[in-house]
Structure 1
Amino acid sequence: MNFDESAKDVEQWLLATCNAARTLSPTECAAYKALHIRKGWEVTIGFKTREGIVHLLLDSDFPYSPPRVAYRSGDCYLKWPHVEENGVLCLPKNSVSWTDPIEKVRVALADACVLVDGTLHLDPSTTELSREFISYWNRAVDTSVRKIQSLLEPTRSAGEIAVWWGKDEIVAAENGEQLTHWLRNSGSTAEVQFTQGIFIRLDAPWVPPYPESLQLVVDKLRAVDPDVPGKLETHAIDNERCVVVMAASVETGTGLTGIIIEGGILRKLNGFRPKHIPRNFKIPHWYQNATVNHSIVNRADAAWIHGRDKNEELAETLTKKVTILGCGALGSHVAVRLAQAGVGSLMLCDPETLAAANVGRHVLGMRSVGRSKSLDLANEIRRRFPHLTVEGHHTAWQHASDEVREKIWASDLIICAIGDWSSEGLLNEEHRVRGVPPIIYCWMEEHATAAHAVGIVNQSSCIACLLNETGNTAAPETIWNDGAEEVSEPACGAYFQPFGPVDIAYAEGIAAELAVDILTGRVAENVHRVHATSTHRLKKLGGDWSEAHKEFRGHFEGGLQFQRPIENSSECPLCNPVHD
């Protein structure tokens, strides 16, 4: 059913049902420019207490999209909840099938009646204007006003904050140290200068109409904290501007709103030099002449970025430091995943530079070709997550300085994604001596048909228990007729694993998941996790399942993830050394 057929059916139904239905002109439809309205009607509806006019609106996606309804009997924008500009009502999700356009319209009009009837006599402070206060505050803000990027913990105590004034945005932080860290990681190289602002906790959210004058703003803030006006006067007059970030809590969480106060400084007064004008003259002038703007506050604190306040493990992961050895295709993606998961500190080590052939399956792109994988990856993660601490070292771990090596072993977790036994063997040997921290070894079999993540948490076994004397998996998941583990380029020693970015996603996933499990204490024993591809893909590539793998797979044909035990191998020379 197309739009023209649906709109015709709706029009016929309206004319038969509503005596006063009128088709809207193209100009009237165009007034709802953001909604892309193609057809509309003016309809008179009998609400509980009076008759009212609404516009029934259909966009070009109807009947697949829901009809919209706009209330036209008076201006109710920022006076009633669930009303957008031009009186468009925010109605509940319409679940009627697209095959019945008339029923979709009937339900939309009925929902509009329920919304309007239920709103006419409500106290704004007890309605969604209060419960959804962020939406209504943001709608009232002038779009030309700079937004405030907040690094503040919303549940913090009221007090002073550090404020950086950028050209396009303002950043509010707990203190100068946090602010400098965030700006440096974001790429700013200029000297960080900041002023003092104010953070205040409101007893209840502000609802429309919002205070416009400085005196009204200060009066409302004084009702919450009598000390705020004095602090505000000091910061605004001394710095010629000030930011107030306000927090309010409702049943769905805590939200932030902001006020920016600028100017209004008395610079000349007969009988006084400019810098010696008494404050008791400056304050009245400031109240009368300062500019007050409401501002949107965008939360950029860790709790919001990593789970919108719902990540119960974040308080723990933010305190953790993880070292990743090997920043190739696998290690680079694991690093980004852990940053996204909220691991507070990452250290990256890799001695190689990025080649163009790496770009197709690496986090970094062409602009990093010829540059250090570890250093550029650290820069990339810092820019994407400026609240985290990330450092890179262009070196193999075993050739690093003593200082860096000690930092590696002081981590809460080491992830080894090197894929080279000469480095991994040395790492395992030193780990057997030190005993801490836990280490995850991750690698893939041919064509990334099987991915392994091995967590060594204690000394009951080690990675060598799973490998043969050459450092390859002793009991692989796959077997190959040609035995070729790598493919060669037309160059000396130029071997590589032939797999794509989709194939590596599973390896990245199980390694990152195991890392979080170990960091949060969900895994406290040595563990071996495996993800194996589908049987169809494996056979297509010329491989087959090993007998050991078939014990887990059975008759299942799709991708499979499972966990194997790690047993202490009697043949492991590190766990069970042979003494003469």
Structure 2
Amino acid sequence: MPNTSIKSTTAFLQAKAVVEKWLDGDDSTFITRSRLPNSRRKAASWDIELDHPVIGRQTIQLSIPQDFPATPPQVHFSKLLCLKLPHIEEDGKFCHGINPSANDYEDPCSVLIEVLNKLSQFWTDITNSAWVAAEFQRERLAYWNRFCYIYKKDGKPAPRNSYAVFTSISGVTEGRVASYHAKSPGRRGRSQDAEFRSTKVLITQGVIDPHTIAVQHGWTVGTLFRGNALWVPLPSDLLWTPNIWPRSLKQLERLILDSSNNEHSVVAWLKKKIEQNIQNGDGGLYQPTFVILVQNRTCYGYMITPNLIPRLTPPGIVPIEIERVDADWALARDYNLELLELRRKKKVLLLGCGSVGGPIAELLARGGIGELHLTDKEFFCIENCARHILGAEHVGTAKAIALADRIRRQIPGSQVKSLRILAADWVSEACSPGRYDLIVDCTGEGTVRTMLGRFREKAFGDAGIVHVWLEPFGAAAHAVYVNHEQPWPYDDPWEKVNAAGWPDDVRVQLPACGSGFHPYGAADAWQVASFASERIFACLNAEIPISTVWSSVRSSAYFDKLNVATVRSSIIPSSGDVFDACHLTRTLAEVLHVE
């Protein structure tokens, strides 16, 4: 027989019992058991009747979820108060901001008291209209998205996803629209609304083609409709709260006129577009039309819907949630854009797209490097799956081509060129001083390091070079930055950098001419990629004045565990834990014992 006593003693049920004993007791006269319980979502609920000088008498529900106290108590108002008062969601839930703590299991009533105190403070605050407006303004994007959701829930035709590529804006400007519509509308509605219910909309500024961007990122699902957009900057000090938001074309017109000193009219713009369509012979085709309002780099959208009765009724407007997909937001969330802009000016040549070069290339692209050129002659094989960022779908594809395609598809704003060519051929035939800001060698091959040293003045001039390689078993990794003043020596003294000397038999030989590999895993390669990329960015930021060697070295216990006869150097940290490691920074002169 199952032990039914276990259920009655769970931590959740114990906490629930403590709260019920308190709130159902004779001393809790301010609260009564809820008349509208919801046992599926709530373990228990109570009602509080309160009078308010602004919103009148309200029934407020206090409840504890099924997983209380892992989830704190909830408070619900009437959902009609959403967008009339801040911190109330579309289902009436009050966002009290109380987070659970470990002590809630021992004293479940304490978190309930916190929530009630928060409710009491809110009840007082909402008598102050200035406080209400300030709270709406502080989290205006969240409330705008809630506003759009309510419109969509009420059956208004709106795109499922609306994306925008924002660059910068100083005045009213036009843009372009690519709207993708599935063969059948994704939701029920009037048949005349079906054409407005796109699955995805991409909106750009100026002459940037949104369809090209959509193709690059795999967003082109459905039939393409091209359209127009009007981008309008709003004053940064404009109060943007629910009572300000336009709900008709007339109100939108007034807002744009006020924001542009009466220089721009959305109605006049719409008429101009209709006339252009007629002149181009497209007057009968549906063309999606949007207005994008921008305040402090945050975008708010309206879709213009055609008038139901031509020449008699005005077009309608539907607010839409805009998700920015430009590189500024995707890569930096608009934070420290000066650094991102600096990186956009950099051009990097990366040699070797293997298990170390692949993730380094992706990390550089995600860090905002303006242009990447990737060289690798080899094709991706199934055995590469174990430690490469590419996978089985890329088998038989050139590594450089597949990696460049992956980066372009996944990372907005990335400019990547793939070069299926030997490093020596590209360097000797196509490179010239000033073409690249930095060269990153991820081949791990001594012949490439030597070749780069021989060609550096002719091919790269003053540009720096970073050599990255990994020792067997991931026991150590190195990133060596060399500038033109102290280049890497022609004799390739890698053994002076390494943490250990390794026997020849650590390389696993395969039954093919010159074929084999050093044993290490994806975790080793990707850890090295992160270690090296951080230092590569420092080189690009001009933070490293001299040739420098960085090393990440595992502990002596790790080397002991390998049971391989190595000649160990002094840079291996002494430790009894295999997970210990150290990072070292040395000058190249120090490593090479150069005065």
Match of 1:264 in 2: 307
Q: 1:407 to 1:174 in 2, by over 3 A?
A: farther
Distance of 1:194 and 1:401 partners within structure 2? 43
Distance of 1:371 and 1:407 partners within structure 2? 29
Match of 1:269 in 2: none
- Alpha-carbon distance, 1:409 to partner: 6.7
Partner secondary structure for residue 549 of structure 1: coil
Output one character per residue of 1:63-97: Cα deviation in whole Å (capped at 9) or x when no partner: 1221111124x831111111112321111233552
Q: 1:318 aligns with which of 324, 340, 344?
A: 344
Paired residues for 1:6-405 under 5 Å: 6-16=15-25, 17-19=27-29, 21-24=31-34, 28-29=37-38, 36-44=41-49, 52-72=58-78, 75-94=80-99, 96=101, 97-98=103-104, 99-123=106-130, 126-141=133-148, 142-143=151-152, 145-146=158-159, 147-153=161-167, 156-167=170-181, 168-177=199-208, 179=210, 181-187=212-218, 194-203=226-235, 204-209=238-243, 210-225=245-260, 226=262, 227-229=264-266, 230-235=268-273, 238=276, 240-249=287-296, 254-264=297-307, 284-285=311-312, 288-311=313-336, 312-400=338-426, 405=430
The one-letter code sitting in structure 1 at the alignment partner of 2:375 is: C
Count of matched residue positions in the alignment of Structure 1 and Structure 2:
537
Match of 1:277 in 2: none
- Alpha-carbon distance, 1:125 to partner: 7.2
Distance of 1:134 and 1:502 partners within structure 2? 39
CA contact (8 A) 2:74 2:94 kept: yes
Q: 1:438 aligns with which of 461, 464, 467?
A: 464
CA contact (8 A) 1:258 1:294 kept: yes
Partner secondary structure for residue 315 of structure 1: helix
Partner secondary structure for residue 485 of structure 2: coil
Partner secondary structure for residue 38 of structure 1: strand
Partner secondary structure for residue 129 of structure 2: coil
Distance of 2:169 and 2:99 partners within structure 1? 36
Match of 2:569 in 1: 547
Q: 1:164 to 1:8 in 2, by over 3 A?
A: same
Distance of 2:247 and 2:472 partners within structure 1? 66
Q: 1:293 to 1:386 in 2, by over 3 A?
A: same
Q: 1:547 to 1:401 in 2, by over 3 A?
A: closer
Match of 1:276 in 2: none
Distance of 2:225 and 2:52 partners within structure 1? 57
Partner secondary structure for residue 322 of structure 2: strand
Q: 1:571 to 1:109 in 2, by over 3 A?
A: closer
- Alpha-carbon distance, 1:21 to partner: 3.3
CA contact (8 A) 1:475 1:548 kept: no
Quick check: 555-564 or 95-104, which moved more?
555-564
The one-letter code sitting in structure 2 at the alignment partner of 1:228 is: S
Distance of 1:180 and 1:414 partners within structure 2? 33
CA contact (8 A) 2:487 2:547 kept: yes
Match of 1:515 in 2: 536
CA contact (8 A) 2:86 2:132 kept: no
CA contact (8 A) 2:375 2:421 kept: yes
- Alpha-carbon distance, 1:293 to partner: 1.1
CA contact (8 A) 1:527 1:566 kept: yes
The one-letter code sitting in structure 1 at the alignment partner of 2:85 is: W
Q: 1:233 to 1:166 in 2, by over 3 A?
A: same
Paired residues for 1:464-479 under 5 Å: 464=490, 467-468=492-493, 472-479=494-501
Distance of 2:144 and 2:511 partners within structure 1? 63
Q: 1:40 to 1:222 in 2, by over 3 A?
A: same
Output one character per residue of 1:285-316: Cα deviation in whole Å (capped at 9) or x when no partner: 4xx24231111110112221122111341010
CA contact (8 A) 2:180 2:220 kept: no
Q: 1:48 to 1:89 in 2, by over 3 A?
A: same
The one-letter code sitting in structure 2 at the alignment partner of 1:495 is: G
The one-letter code sitting in structure 2 at the alignment partner of 1:54 is: I
Distance of 2:204 and 2:218 partners within structure 1? 17
Distance of 1:531 and 1:241 partners within structure 2? 55
* Structure 1 stretches of at least 4 aligned residues deviating more than 6 Å after TM superposition: 46-51, 188-193, 568-572
Partner secondary structure for residue 221 of structure 1: helix
Partner secondary structure for residue 571 of structure 2: helix
Percent identity between the aligned chains?
22
Output one character per residue of 1:341-374: Cα deviation in whole Å (capped at 9) or x when no partner: 1112111110011111111211111100111111
Partner secondary structure for residue 504 of structure 1: helix
Match of 2:284 in 1: none
- Alpha-carbon distance, 1:19 to partner: 1.9
Quick check: 63-72 or 316-325, which moved more?
63-72
Output one character per residue of 1:504-548: Cα deviation in whole Å (capped at 9) or x when no partner: 233101221122111111123211111112333222112567233
Q: 1:462 to 1:106 in 2, by over 3 A?
A: same
- Alpha-carbon distance, 1:193 to partner: 7.7
Extract unaligned runs of 5+ from structure 2.
Answer: 1-9, 182-198, 278-286
Output one character per residue of 1:451-503: Cα deviation in whole Å (capped at 9) or x when no partner: 111111222231547x33xxx423421244x4534112344433111111111
Partner secondary structure for residue 61 of structure 1: coil
CA contact (8 A) 1:461 1:567 kept: no
Distance of 1:177 and 1:13 partners within structure 2? 63
The one-letter code sitting in structure 1 at the alignment partner of 2:315 is: A
* Cα-Cα RMSD: 3.1
TM-score normalized by structure 1? 0.84
Distance of 1:125 and 1:391 partners within structure 2? 52
CA contact (8 A) 2:378 2:398 kept: yes
Distance of 1:452 and 1:64 partners within structure 2? 45
Q: 1:301 to 1:427 in 2, by over 3 A?
A: same
Alignment pair present for 1:566 and 2:588: yes
Distance of 2:131 and 2:252 partners within structure 1? 19
Partner secondary structure for residue 166 of structure 1: strand
Q: 1:458 aligns with which of 484, 489, 492?
A: 484
CA contact (8 A) 2:557 2:575 kept: no
CA contact (8 A) 1:506 1:531 kept: no
Extract unaligned runs of 5+ from structure 1.
Answer: 267-281
